[in-house]
Structure 1
Amino acid sequence: MATESFEEIAETFEFLDDWEDRYRHVIELGKALPPLEDAFRVPATKVDGCASQVWILPQIDGSGPQARFDFRGESDAMIVRGLIAVLHALYGGLRADEVLRVDAAAELARLGLNDHLSAQRSNGVRAMVERIRKLAGETAAA
Structure 2
Amino acid sequence: MATEAFEDIVADFEFLDEWEDRYRYVIDKGRAMEPLDDALKVPATKVDGCASQVWLHPRIEDGRFGFDGDSDAMIVRGLIAVLRALYNDLPVAQVGQVDAQAELARLGLNDHLSAQRSNGVRAMIERIRLVASEAA
| Whole-Å separation in 2 of the counterparts to 1:96 and 1:52 | 27
Note if 1:2 corresponds to 2:2: yes
Residue type matched to 2:52 in 1?
A: S
Give ranges in structure 2 of 5+ residues lacking alignment.
Answer: none
Q: Percent identity?
A: 71
**Aligned with residue 104 of structure 2, among 108, 112, 119:** 108
Q: Which residue of 1 aligns with 2:22?
A: 22
The alignment's C-alpha RMSD in Å is 0.5
Aligned pair 1:77/2:73, yes or no? yes
1:134 to 121, 130, 133: 130
Structure 1 position 50, deviation (Å): 0.2
Instruction: State the TM-score, normalizing by the size of structure 2.
Output: 0.99
Distance 2:29 2:18 in 1: 17
Q: Which sections of structure 1, spanning at least 5 residues, go unmatched?
A: none
TM-score (norm 1): 0.95
Residue 48 of structure 2 is matched in structure 1 by 48
- 1:52 and 1:9 map into 2 onto residues whose CA distance is 24
SS in 2 for 1:101: coil
Report runs of 4+ in structure 1 exceeding 2 Å deviation. Answer: none
Count residues with an aligned counterpart.
136
The equivalent residue for 1:59 is: 59
